[in-house]
Structure 1
Amino acid sequence: MNPFDLSGRLAVVTGAKRGIGFAIAESLAAAGADIVGVSATLDPASSEIGERVRELGREFSGHRVDFADRDQVTDFAEALAAGDRQVDILVNNAGTIRRAPAAEHSLDWFDEVLEVDLTSAFVLSQILGRRMLQAEYGRIVFTASLLSFQGGINVPGYAAAKSGTAGLVRALSNEWAGRGVTVNGIAPGYIATDNTQALRDDPDRSRAILERIPAGRWGTAADIAGAAVYLASDAARYVTGTILPVDGGWLAR
């Protein structure tokens, strides 16, 4: 038997329209899972990720949800939990980042980042997790960050949210691991996505970052997707409460 086979599973992937979320949704589908793709800007009727999932022979359902709007997130999660089909895998990937020195960082930005990156993920995990606990099976995967371990520069809200993500992974795992639900996080290193465009466009910052990465390159969204498939599969059934760095060796440097 293939422990990475996800045939028959239903996976919810937030932030699935592009970047890391797109790659995770695509790879989960390639492993056999049907996909519920969610994004703040996803066209439910027509999307690139929807087309790709269907090309792989899997079912796809697209949804547009503003993760800064707690009521929208709650309504979406409750509708899924009340559906006929059990959600087996939840990937909390949706996120945003705001850059400004801490002394000038607006409270509105701070609140927005925590709502999108942390609170919305808790709401989804709480509501969908209840049904997973009833079924005594579930896989929840958070997208954490290197800033779950470090402080970063000019991103206090993001650093706070991603540090909170690591704590939430451990807290949920402590309560749910004995009831068939594993909870883990992936900490991407410096990945070439829209969120890191400003860093890659800054020659000094980009050079300093690359000099510290033992692998010698920026990561890709596909580098993260394999870790997500692993954590969502039975190959990782005894892995829970951990944050898995996928960083080209950054944290080991």
Structure 2
Amino acid sequence: MGWVDLWSGILLYDLCPEDQERPMLRHMRLPLPMDLGKWATELGCTKSASGIASVIKGGKPCLKLVGLQIIEERLPYDDIETNMPCYTVNNWAITTWSNTIVHFDSSDNWQDGFTVWAPDVIISDTVRSKLLASGLLHRKPSEDGEDTVELALQNLVVSDPTPSLNGEEEVVYLMARPKYFHPKAWSLAIDIKNHTLLDVAEFGTAKEGVLPDVTYCSSSISKY
């Protein structure tokens, strides 16, 4: 069994040790993402910038880890639409790691996977049409007198990276918003091996307090 803390690592409990000794708790470190961004650091919510999944890859158990690097800037005013601090996102990247050998007290067995920066993501004409029609790339003014802003993919606020539970896919799912604390979100599916945006779909959120909570959990249905 495992208890995952995306800040500090995984506590593993072997219920059936091969040497028949008394089961013990052991710790496995995780490779940390680079710059987790505002939601993870200021709100203490590392799940918004990293995710992990246990999958079967090539017939073997495998842990997949994904992290976001977010380059952003705090603006000197609050947003008139959300009444919250205003930020602009200049760029973001997805990085993945995998581990097929669960070794305690070490992060050496984590293998580097893929890194893709948002400007390098390929968008087909079909997906681009869906992206434009979705409204995700249109951000309402952040302050009085400002016109509606047209966004590129790298300007979106992305969070909650989730590895596909199909171990043979190199797909990461993200939640995307036109601005921080926006109550409406979209789901992006990105093939990080081929640097391709596969699809975009509007997704619901439940707003509780200042931070909208994403109302989804991963499923292995997609592999069928």
**TM-score, normalized by length of structure 1?**
0.28
Q: Which has the higher contact order (CA 8 A, sep 6+)?
A: 1
Q: Which is richer in helix?
A: 1
Higher Cα radius of gyration? 2
